[in-house]
Amino acid sequence: MKLYTSIGPNPRLVRLFLAEKQVELPQVQVDILAGENRRPPYLGLNPAGSTPLLVLETGQALAETTAICEYIEELQPTPPLIGTTAEARALTRMWTRRVDLFVVQPMTSGFRGAEGLGLFQDRVHCLPQAADDLKATAREGLAWLDAQMADGRPFIAGQALTLADLMLYSFVEFGALVGQGLDPALQRLGAWHQRMAERPSAKATA
Amino acid sequence: MKLYTSIGPNPRLVRLFLAEKQVELPQVQVDILAGENRRPPYLGLNPAGSTPLLVLETGQALAETTAICEYIEELQPTPPLIGTTAEARALTRMWTRRVDLFVVQPMTSGFRGAEGLGLFQDRVHCLPQAADDLKATAREGLAWLDAQMADGRPFIAGQALTLADLMLYSFVEFGALVGQGLDPALQRLGAWHQRMAERPSAKATA
């Protein structure tokens, strides 16, 4: 297998996932600033033009971060990051989806409509007129997640580290780089973030 | 198990998935027009306030459409709608994600910022100033999917019906109700849509 990776929070999420699994894969760096991912030969592998991309041993190209992480979990089930039972997997997927919908999508879209506009305006349909609202939506999503942690859970989905934590951590780190840092008033998420930052996976992928 | 369902494309997607599986579940109708999903007791089951919601036999509440479908697939693997191998599941998840990102999210957000504003403005952060651009983004996503079908594949992810088709079908049907109908110029998607509409699952959930 071969992982096509680049700068950015989605590639980092896959690298975090691999680091927690202690799986090492050959990596190919894709220069997304130069637009390598938006032209052949990369577009032949992934017509959506996104990174990361995992090329399987069959030669099949697999895009989309969560699909890649699910695949790695199936190949290497320990330590479990999605779950060892149908119910545990379902709850990880629910929380991962909430992180995605409430934080990742508006944060990313807000960035692309503002600080990232120069890079993204010819690549995706950007929404500069909604950038402030999108960033506010991401802040509201983070506050909602913080409130869910009022039950004392150490991780987003409960008692165990899952894909939901790795996704949120990667995007909170990204947000901090692009003017969408975590509000210090969100104390539970702040403490969670500090614990996540201390993990070897965070340091190995920084 | 018990399925909390309502009007709307996400609940319909779960019902389509169940119909293809020939699984019947007790259903509870949630009146989202009256806001039942945005207040207790429903919010106690799903603090995100979304429908559908599956309450498992353990009493655990499971929200988020794709998480629910994955759970049903694990309980009832035949006919497979996500896949019978790690690679097949990965590709279904990739295409489902593309349908979600390129069509479902912008279509839904465009609706909420325009025709759906009255219903949604006090429920989620709406983007009326970006509604036209969001609808255009969904149209571009549909055109992209149509282009991917130039290889003659009968279904979104290839040779077999998957979750990606059911998701897209449910949202194309929704789009047609809210001024975001499928462009007749997209002939491959048009033919696909006609085949999907003829399935017993489509008729049983109409």
Nearest-neighbour CA in chain B from A64: distance (Å): 6
Rounded to an integer, what distance in angstroms lies between the CA atom of residue A204 and that of residue B105?
Answer: 33
What is the strand order of the sheet A53-55 is part of? A27-29, A2-5, A53-55, A61-63
* Contact between residue B171 and residue B103 where contact means Cβ atoms under 8 Å apart: yes
| Nearest-angstrom CA–CA distance, A30 and A8 | 11
Please answer yes or no on whether A94 and B148 come within 8 Å at the CB atom.
Answer: no
C-alpha–C-alpha distance, residues B166 and B96, integer Å: 9
pTM, two decimal places? 0.98
What local confidence, expressed as pLDDT, does residue B172 receive? 98
Query: What is the pLDDT tens value at each position of chain B, 206 positions in all?
Result: 999 999 999 999 999 999 999 999 999 999 999 999 999 999 999 999 999 999 999 999 999 999 999 999 999 999 999 999 999 999 999 999 999 999 999 999 999 999 999 999 999 999 999 999 999 999 999 999 999 999 999 999 999 999 999 999 999 999 999 999 999 999 999 999 999 999 999 999 99
Model pLDDT, residue B155: 98
CATH class of the A86-201 domain in this structure = mainly alpha
Give me the pLDDT at residue B45, please. 97
> For A156, which DSSP code?
T
pLDDT value for B128: 98
Q: What pLDDT, on a 0 to 100 scale, did the predictor assign at position A99?
A: 98
> How far, in Å, CA of B58 to CA of B20, rounded?
25
- pLDDT tens per residue, range A4-15: 999 999 999 999
- C-alpha to C-alpha distance for B98 and A63, rounded to whole angstroms: 9
Q: What is the pLDDT of residue B88?
A: 98
Q: Kindly state which CATH superfamily the domain A2-75 is placed in.
A: Glutaredoxin (3.40.30.10)
In this predicted structure, what is the pLDDT of residue A5? Answer: 98
pLDDT at A82: 98
Q: What is the pLDDT of residue B154?
A: 98
What are A's interface residues with B at a Cβ cutoff of 8 A? 47-48, 56, 58, 60, 62-64, 66-68, 70-71, 74-75, 86-87, 89-91, 93-94, 97-98, 102, 105-106, 125, 127, 129-130, 133-134, 136-137, 140, 144, 148
Q: d(Cα A62, Cα A106) in Å, to the nearest integer?
A: 24
Interface test with B, best of A75, A76, A125, A149 (most B CBs within 10 A): A125
| B81, B162 contact by CB (below 8 A) | yes
For residue B44, what pLDDT is reported?
96
Residue corresponding to tokens 């951590």: A169
Q: Of B54, B122, B48, which Cα lies nearest the Cα of A148?
A: B48
* pLDDT score of A118: 96
Scan for tokens 């035949």, then name that residue: B78
Model pLDDT, residue B105? 98
Closest CA to B167 of B15, B5, B3: B15
Q: For residue A47, which residues of chain B lie inside 8 Å, CB to CB? A: 144, 148
Min Cα distance B97 → chain A (Å) is 7
Which residue from B170, B165, B167 is spatially nearest to B204, judged by alpha carbons?
A: B170
Q: What is the pLDDT of residues A191-204, one digit of tens each?
A: 999 999 999 999 99
Respond yes or no on whether the N-terminal peptide bond of residue B52 is cis (omega within 30° of 0). Answer: yes
What's the complex ipTM? Answer: 0.98
**Below-50 pLDDT ranges, chain A:** none
Q: How far is CA A36 from CA A50, A113, B71, B102, in A?
A: 10, 21, 37, 21
* Residues pairing with A67 in the sheet: none
Which of A64, A94, A140 lies nearest to residue B98, judging by beta carbons?
A64
Percent helix / strand / coil, chain B, rounded to 5: 55, 5, 35
DSSP character at residue B51? S
Q: How far apart are CA B177 and CA B173, in angstroms?
A: 7
- What residue segments make up the domains of chain A, in order of their start? 2-75, 86-201
DSSP A51: S
Percent of chain B with pLDDT over 70: 100
